[in-house]
Amino acid sequence: MSLKGKTAVITGSNSGIGLGVAREIARAGAHVVLNSFTNRDEDHALAETIAKDFGVEARYIQADMSDGEQCRALIEQAGSCDVLVNNAGIQHVEPIESFPVEKWNAIIAINMNSAFHTTAAALPKMRAAGWGRVINIASAHGLTASPYKSAYVAAKHGVVGMTKAVALETAEEPITCNAVCPGYVLTPLVEAQIPDTMEKYNMGREEVIKKVMLERQPSREFATVEQLGGTVAFLASDAAAQITGTTISVDGGWTAL
Ligand code: NAD
């Protein structure tokens, strides 16, 4: 699964799944561009560590994925973009009647619209290079739903739909577009949901993990960021050249239920 000589841009990759994806893609030999909206020494240090660990070029570029122009500027600044991983995402849990409009708009912008902007900016580069991969990190919530996550569910279903449309637009070219749908992965995004859930159900942390979160995931285990990264590296590889317009679930059986 060598990606030697390719350059991958991974949005929202200073933590969690995005960072795991960047590391696995670098392990396969690709140069990587990390991103988030912050511009801290520790963000740039993540790129330096990847460069050292895997002997590839690695850079961190600050860009806010809630802003369409910054999404497009990220792809321009990256130079080459052979593999685009649309991973940036946020979550908010609240009944739809009281769901704050600004939270709804931010979730749709970061989780869905950013993939529109980056993909539109990256496809001409992939066409010029004669090879490309667009890999969207959707969710089990792109295929199923949960109450109180309406914006997230809407955005992730949108990403799955956009994935299929882009796959058809590029079907006759050496470019593929797929979505990866994780179930629960214990990242900062999921950690942030634990305190409220503990309060809501009057449960301890371990009980919330076991009885609320992993209850939904038949394997009863979290997927790891390395497993997500490995799946993305596979979709980026030549072995996956005929896989396009589909979703790969990494959810311990969630969507089989
Ligand atoms: P995370 O919070 O660790 O990562 C989210 C990343 O997005 C971070 O790097 C963050 O800095 C970045 N980000 C947030 N707002 C941004 C903005 N405005 N501009 C640029 N970057 C921004 O959470 P994660 O779980 O690793 O999430 C990564 C992706 O995986 C998300 O799209 C999420 O919806 C999806 N996902 C996660 C799970 C899970 O269980 N963790 C399940 C299904 C899908």
Residue 205 predicted with pLDDT over 90: yes
Residue 1 predicted with pLDDT over 90: no
Give dist(CA 113, CA 125) in Å, integer. Answer: 20
Give the distance from CA 70 to its chain's centroid.
Answer: 17
Instruction: Please tell me the residue having the least CA distance from ligand 1 atom 44.
Output: 139
Mean pLDDT of the chain: 98
Within 150-257, residue ranges assigned H as helices are: 150-169, 188-191, 194-201, 205-207, 225-236
CB of 250 within 6 A of ligand 1: the answer is no
For residue 116, the CA-to-ligand 1 centroid distance in Å is 17
Question: pLDDT tens digits for 71-123?
Answer: 999 999 999 999 999 999 999 999 999 999 999 999 999 999 999 999 999 99
CB of 12 within 6 A of ligand 1: the answer is yes
Beta strands 58-62; 83-86: pairing state: unpaired
CB of 182 within 6 A of ligand 1: the answer is yes
Q: Report the helix count and the strand count for the chain, using DSSP H and E.
A: 10, 7
CB of 217 within 6 A of ligand 1: the answer is no
Catalytic residues: 152
Choices 3.60.15.10, 1.10.357.10, 3.40.50.720, 3.30.413.10: CATH for 7-185+224-256: 3.40.50.720
pTM (two decimals):
0.98
Give dist(CA 35, CA 122) in Å, integer. Answer: 15
Q: Which atom number of ligand 1 is nearest to the Cα of residue 17?
A: 26
Q: To which residue do tokens 């009863």 refer?
A: 220
Shortest CA distance to 135 belongs to which of 55, 216, 30? 30
Question: pLDDT tens digits for 36-79?
Answer: 999 999 999 999 999 999 999 999 999 999 999 999 999 999 99
CB of 137 within 6 A of ligand 1: the answer is yes
Question: pLDDT tens digits for 186-203?
Answer: 999 999 999 999 999 999
CB of 166 within 6 A of ligand 1: the answer is no
Give dist(CA 84, CA 73) in Å, integer. Answer: 14
Instruction: State the pLDDT confidence band at 30, using cuts at 50, 70 and 90.
Output: very high
CB of 246 within 6 A of ligand 1: the answer is no
Beta strands 58-62; 7-10: pairing state: unpaired
**Is the CB of residue 152 less than 8 Å from the CB of residue 198?**
no
Give dist(CA 16, CA 43) in Å, integer. Answer: 13
Instruction: Please tell me the residue having the least CA distance from ligand 1 atom 34.
Output: 89
For residue 113, the CA-to-ligand 1 centroid distance in Å is 14
**From 36, 149, 209, 222, mutation site for ligand 1 pocket: most ligand atoms within 8 A of C-beta:** 36
Comma-separated ranges of CATH 3.40.50.720 domains in the chain: 7-185+224-256
Give the distance from CA 191 to its chain's centroid.
Answer: 17
For residue 172, the CA-to-ligand 1 centroid distance in Å is 31
What is the pLDDT at residue 182? 98
For residue 88, the CA-to-ligand 1 centroid distance in Å is 5
Instruction: State the pLDDT confidence band at 135, using cuts at 50, 70 and 90.
Output: very high
